[in-house]
Amino acid sequence: MAAMKGIKGMMMKPHSLIPIRNASRSSASFHNPWDDNSLQASLRNPWDDNPHHDTYNPNNNTLANANEFNKTKRFSLILPRSTESLSGMKKGKNLKKSGVILETGVVLLKNYVSVSDQVKIVNTCQQFGMGRGGFYQPITNNGGKMNLHMMCFGRNWDPKTKYNSKYRSDGSHALPLPHQLISLAETSIKDSQAYDDRMPSMDPDICVVNFYTSTGKLGLHQDRDESESSLKKGLPVVSISIGDSAKFLYGNSREVGKAKVVLLESGDVLIFGGKSRLVYHGVTKIIPNSAPLSLLQQVKLRPGRLNLTLRQY
Ligand X SMILES: O=C(O)CCC(=O)C(=O)O
307 binds ligand X (CB under 6 A): yes
Spatial CA neighbour of 239 closest among 253, 250, 229, 228: 250
Rounded to whole angstroms, how far apart are CA atoms 177 and 157? 14
Q: Which is nearer to ligand X, 55 or 276 (CB)?
A: 276
Amino acid at 84: E
Binder of ligand X out of 77, 177, 184, 218 (CB under 6 A): 218
Do residues 107 and 196 touch, judged by C-beta distance below 8 A? yes
Which one, 47 or 248, has the nearer CB to ligand X? 248
- DSSP summary character for residue 27: S
Q: Is 312 in the site for ligand X (CB under 6 A)?
A: no
Q: Which of 208, 249, 271, 301 binds ligand X (CB under 6 A)?
A: 208
What's the CA gap between 69 and 231, in Å, rounded? 35
223 binds ligand X (CB under 6 A): yes
Q: Does 265 bind ligand X (CB under 6 A)?
A: no
Q: How far is the CB of 30 from ligand X (least distance, A)?
A: 26
Q: How far is the CB of 181 from ligand X (least distance, A)?
A: 14
Does position 239 interact with ligand X (CB under 6 A)? The reply is yes
CB-based burial label for 24 (10 Å; 0-12, 13-18, 19+)? middle
Candidate residues 281, 296, 299, 304; the one interacting with ligand X per rule CB under 6 A: 281
Among 248, 250, 272, 280, contact with ligand X (rule: CB under 6 A): 248
- 276 is an interface residue for ligand X by CB under 6 A: no
The verdict on 247 binding ligand X (CB under 6 A) reads no
Q: Does 268 help bind ligand X (rule: CB under 6 A)?
A: no
- Of 77 and 264, the one with the shorter C-beta distance to ligand X is 264
Alpha helices in the chain (DSSP H): 23-26, 39-42, 66-71, 115-129, 179-192, 228-232, 293-298
d(CA 13, CA 263): 10
Of 35-54, binders to ligand X (CB under 6 A) are none
100 bridge partner residues: 108
Minimum distance, C-beta of residue 251 to ligand X, in the bound complex (Å): 13
Measure the CA–CA gap between 157 and 167, rounded to whole angstroms: 10
Task: Report the residue number, 69 or 135, with the smaller CB distance to ligand X.
Answer: 135
Instruction: Report the alpha-carbon distance of residue 209 to residue 157 in Å, rounded.
Output: 10
Main-chain dihedrals φ then ψ at residue 120, nearest 5 degrees: -65, -35
Q: Is 207 in the site for ligand X (CB under 6 A)?
A: no
Q: Which is nearer to ligand X, 172 or 239 (CB)?
A: 239
Question: Does residue 259 interact with ligand X by CB under 6 A?
Answer: no
List the x/- string, 166-205, binding to ligand X by CB under 6 A: ----------------------------------------
Q: Report the residue from 172, 187, 290, 309 that binds ligand X according to the rule CB under 6 A.
A: 309
> What DSSP character marks residue 220?
E
Picking from 242, 223, 255, the residue whose alpha carbon sits closest to that of residue 106 is: 223
Distance CA 45, CA 175 (A): 7
CA distance 152 to 173: 9
Q: Out of 283, 299, 301, 310, which residue is the one contacting ligand X (CB under 6 A)?
A: 283
Give the interface with ligand X as residue ranges (CB under 6 A).
208, 210, 218, 223, 239, 246, 248, 264, 281, 283, 307, 309
